Amino acid sequence: MRIVVDAMGSDAFPRPDVEGAVQAARLYGVEITLVGDEKVVRPALAACDPGSLPIAVMHAPEMLTMHDKGLSLALKAKRREPKTSMALGIDLVKKREAVAFVTAGNTGAAATTAYFRLGTLPGVERPALCPVFPTHTGTCLVLDVGANPDCKPEHLLQFAIMGHVYAEKVRGVRGPRIGLLSNGEEPGKGNLLIRETYPLLAASGLNFIGNVEGKELFAGAADVVVTDGFSGNILLKGAEAVGALILDIVREKIQAASPFVKIGGLLVRPTLRSLRRMLDPSEEGAAPLLGVDGLVFIGHGRSDALAMQNAVRVAKLAAEAGVLESVRAEIGGRLARAPAAALGS
Amino acid sequence: MRIVVDAMGSDAFPRPDVEGAVQAARLYGVEITLVGDEKVVRPALAACDPGSLPIAVMHAPEMLTMHDKGLSLALKAKRREPKTSMALGIDLVKKREAVAFVTAGNTGAAATTAYFRLGTLPGVERPALCPVFPTHTGTCLVLDVGANPDCKPEHLLQFAIMGHVYAEKVRGVRGPRIGLLSNGEEPGKGNLLIRETYPLLAASGLNFIGNVEGKELFAGAADVVVTDGFSGNILLKGAEAVGALILDIVREKIQAASPFVKIGGLLVRPTLRSLRRMLDPSEEGAAPLLGVDGLVFIGHGRSDALAMQNAVRVAKLAAEAGVLESVRAEIGGRLARAPAAALGS
């Protein structure tokens, strides 16, 4: 089982990317291909003392950065002769020489490259990025959070089916509860997209629990929450920002306070640190890009070696669980049973 | 200066509503009309020992609740002979017998009643609910957060002008920085609505700083953030939920921890409590519904007496600052200068 890791992805590449991949090879018994500029990847690999671990290096003369977007990105992504680390890595998945591709690079660049090189699974019009949110009782998958700012109801139905499969196969949730992100719980609440999506989900045969708001999501009322990529992104970034704000202010207030409070701050520091970890995306490693014809995981630019190691672990889990085949089967089966209106036809 | 307070609004009505109004009359020298069911309002008022404070009671035989929505709500809101506390109270503002109406009732019911009874200011197509968000450096107004789940670019331009006026007049910010909520900072990011709104704001003559994400918003990079009511509501409720989640988990973790950590928890408790207050909507009292032809403030259902008192204080501030007249003038002036395309014509 070979997993391709983009060595040029994270903000601090190649070190976290390479270190995490080496750790994953050591711990999880996977074969790794590091793809990137040989001149920087080989020394970073050597520094990790990989011994006889099954780690190959594939040279990529170019890399995609935060500056790649729009048409020029699309053209690079579609190029017949791949040159970027993302395109070369994803092509290994396409040729079935590897089971998954993992990157901590530019999300848009990775999604675009994956979309053009792998295509989508039959019945899926748009791939969706599906991160794990922490909740009071565990975790919740939210999709899409950014790949598709403008969605149609049938896209959200496809997201729901893909989220259902991923929750069952990888997160181990039986009959996952599917919620629809809205501005009110009652049916009929929401913008036009949500109001049109609601009946599709209600008729889908999935365990649809109706509209959910932030309160229910973070309380753990749903296992999967479906949303368009714009709203999902607003939710994700808002939640990250509030979490960081609160923990920063707690720290600042404690530092500026009386000696007694400062001592209290020292005593609760491990608690606050564990909370920061809980809110930290690196615990879950990376989010799957569901709906493309191959397993692709996209992590935060801030990913460290542990995050990359976790990303490889989750990618392995998804491959072993046959996520791709299950999404293919469920999308085919459930859409075939859905009313024609659900297909937007 | 008379302010009408809905005595039937908050979840625990009439006590917090009446107590807050009495406190406001005592502290800020405003005249108050409490509107609601006399049989419950008069005893609640007597219990507050109002002495000779200028507080009137206006009987309303009906009240709107969380169950009022859709067509039946619209019909109640439009009724020629007002019966609900919201309609009767808002009519006092319409007849210029009071300068503002304050309620902690059902947001949709209040917005609908205000819309139908007061109408919108010339040039404003949709009123917008405009709460104050806490940020790292102060506060930020966000509008709309729920009145309009589906918006057009020209609505967002109108929101920006109204937010600009409110920030200047009531929040005391000179040349407020206006941001557009999006899923990325660069121009060109966003869904169709955002991409079409961007050039309108850029040409508006306002201090438009471009797209902002949650990170910038909560860091304090903008004084006003403009968004459609659906996305704004997702942001608001997500932020509230994450804030509550984090503080709950901190408390639980400390309670479950070693005696040392527990002692630390006791020492930092004032810090955490002050943070909870900072995140608590009652500090700002209520959010203005901007764009209707009258001052209307809508508070959280959880509002306590302090929140109601603050709501009356902010309503008085807005009346003294001439917010209504300024919005009327700015909307007229700026839209007249805007390119025709900005008007959606």
Which CATH number do you get for residue B56? 3.40.718.10
Residues of A in Cβ contact (< 8 Å) with B248: 136
pLDDT of residue A345: 42
Cβ distance of B149 and A190 shorter than 8 Å: yes
Burial bucket for residue B192 (CB in 10 Å: 0-12, 13-18, 19+): exposed
Q: How many domains does chain B have?
A: 1
- Give the nearest chain A residue to B214 (CA atoms): A238
List chain A residues with CB under 8 Å of B213. Answer: 237, 241
Q: Please indicate whether, in this complex, the C-beta atoms of A267 and B275 are within 8 angstroms of each other.
A: no
Cα A91 to Cα A113: distance, rounded to the nearest angstrom: 10
- Does the beta-carbon distance from A268 to B264 stay under 8 Å? yes
> Which of B218, B230, B244 minimises the CB distance to A231?
B230
Q: How far is B278 from chain A (nearest CA, A)?
A: 10
Label each residue of A131-188 as H, E or C: CEEECCCCEEEEECCCCCCCCCHHHHHHHHHHHHHHHHHCCCCCCCCEEEECCCCCCC
Q: A257 in a domain, yes or no?
A: no
Task: Give B251's contacts in chain A (Cβ within 8 Å).
Answer: none
Q: Do B268 and A270 touch (CB under 8 A)?
A: no
Q: Do B183 and A253 touch (CB under 8 A)?
A: no
Domain span at residue A72 reads 2-238+276-343
First to last CA, chain B: 40
Cβ separation B146–A183 shorter than 8 A: yes
Q: Which residue of B has its CA nearest to A245?
A: B136
B179, B216 in Cβ contact below 8 A? yes
Residue bearing tokens 């920061």: A276
pLDDT tens by residue, chain B, 345 residues: 999 999 999 999 999 999 999 999 999 999 999 999 999 999 999 999 999 999 999 999 999 998 898 889 999 999 999 999 999 999 999 999 999 999 999 999 999 999 999 999 999 999 999 999 999 999 999 999 988 999 999 999 999 999 999 999 999 999 999 999 999 998 889 999 999 999 999 999 999 999 999 999 999 999 999 999 999 999 999 999 998 888 888 888 888 888 888 888 888 888 888 877 777 666 677 999 999 999 999 999 989 999 999 999 999 999 999 999 999 999 988 877 766 555 544
Q: Which residue is associated with the tokens 């070190």? A: A15
Asked if the structure places residue B294 within a domain, the reply is yes
- DSSP calls for B147-211: S-SS--HHHHHHHHHHHHHHHHHTS--SS--EEEE-SSSSTT-S-HHHHHHHHHHHTSSS-EEEE
**Confidence class for position A339, pLDDT limits 50, 70, 90:** low
Instruction: Look at A246 and B241 and tell me if their CB atoms are within 8 Å.
Output: no
Please identify which residue in the block is written with the tokens 């990079």.
B221
Q: Does A253 fall in a domain? A: no
Q: In terms of CA atoms, which chain B residue is nearest residue A150?
A: B191
Chain B contact set for A272 (CB, 8 A): 250
Contact residues on chain A for B67, CB-CB shorter than 8 A = none
Residue A255 lies in a domain: no
Size of interface A-B (CB pairs under 8 A): 188
Give CA torsion, residues A107, A113, A117, A119, to 10 deg.
50
- What is the number of helices (H) and of strands (E) in chain B? 12, 12
Determine the residue of chain A that is closest to B253 in CA distance.
A271
**What is the radius of gyration, based on Cα positions, of chain B?**
21
Name the residue among B70, B188, B218 with its Cβ closest to that of A241.
B218
> Do B70 and A279 count as a contact with CB atoms less than 8 A apart?
no
pLDDT at B339: 60
Across the interface, do A229 and B272 touch by the CB < 8 Å criterion?
no
How many percent of chain A have pLDDT more than 70? 97
* SS3 label, residue A294: coil
CA neighbor of A133 nearest in space, from A278, A304, A297, A272 = A278
Residue B224 forms part of a structural domain: yes
Specify the pLDDT at position A159: 98
Contact (CB, 8 A) for A109 and A86: yes
Nearest residue in chain B measured CA to CA from A219: B245
| Assigned domain for B268 exists | no
CA–CA distance, B289 with B112 (Å, rounded to integer): 11
Which chain A residues have a beta carbon less than 8 Å from that of B231? 230-231, 234
Q: Which residues have C-beta within 8 Å of that of residue B95, sequence separation ≥ 6?
A: none
Within a domain: A260: no
> Residue B10 has what pLDDT?
95
- The pLDDT assigned to A297 comes to 98
Q: Nearest by CB to B264, which of A181, A228, A264?
A: A264
Q: Which residue of A has its CA nearest to B188?
A: A70
- CA gap A24, A1 in Å, rounded: 12
Strand partners for B208: B178
ipTM of the complex model: 0.88
How far is it, in rounded angstroms, from Cα B76 to Cα B70? 10
Which residues of chain B are within 8 Å of residue A190 when distances are taken between CB atoms?
149, 230
pLDDT of residue B281: 61
Is the separation of the CB atoms in B183 and A147 below 8 Å? no
Outline where DSSP puts E strands in chain A.
2-6, 31-36, 55-59, 100-103, 128-129, 132-134, 139-143, 178-181, 208-212, 224-226, 287-290, 295-298
Alpha-carbon span B59 to A90, nearest angstrom = 70
In a domain, B245, yes or no: no
Give the pLDDT confidence score for residue B73 in this predicted structure.
92
Q: What is the pTM of this model?
A: 0.91
Q: Which of A112, A193, A233, A246 to mutate to test the interface with B (most CBs of B within 10 A)?
A: A246
Question: Alpha-carbon distance A94 to A91, whole Å?
Answer: 5
